Amino acid sequence: MPFTPQPGRRPDPVTRQRWQQCLERFRLSGLTVSAFCDREGFSVASFYLWRRRLQHDPPVSAADAPRLVPVRLVTSPASTSVELVLPSGCILRLPTDCDLDWLRQLLPLLGVVPC
């Protein structure tokens, strides 16, 4: 989760939600900021930056949320598929012969960052 937002840019909604969940885990943990950050694997500076950012930024509106377009792939019943579980928890089912170049273009649109 170590992500530093660039000045003047809003972080993507998935990252924002992860940090909101992280700050809630901290609130319930009973740990010091330093101990919590050590346990979670990010810096104390990132923790304070995100806490300040989320306190001062208005909540994400529906207009800021990623837009999804319905996609329907029709395959023969005999074909097998591959399931990708996205960071958001959504499941993307693809045929095994899916075009990889198309998939490389699709994943960033769904909020998946390459590793």
User: What does the pLDDT profile of the chain (115 residues) look like in tens digits?
Assistant: 444 545 556 667 888 888 889 999 999 999 999 999 999 998 999 999 999 988 876 665 555 556 677 777 766 666 678 888 887 778 888 888 888 888 888 888 888 876 6
How would you class 59 by CB atoms within 10 Å of its CB: exposed for 0-12, middle for 13-18, buried for 19 or more? exposed
- Residue 7: both structure tokens together: 């000045």
CA-to-CA distance for 46 and 4, rounded, in angstroms? 7
Q: What is the pLDDT of residue 79?
A: 60
Q: What is the pLDDT of residue 1?
A: 46
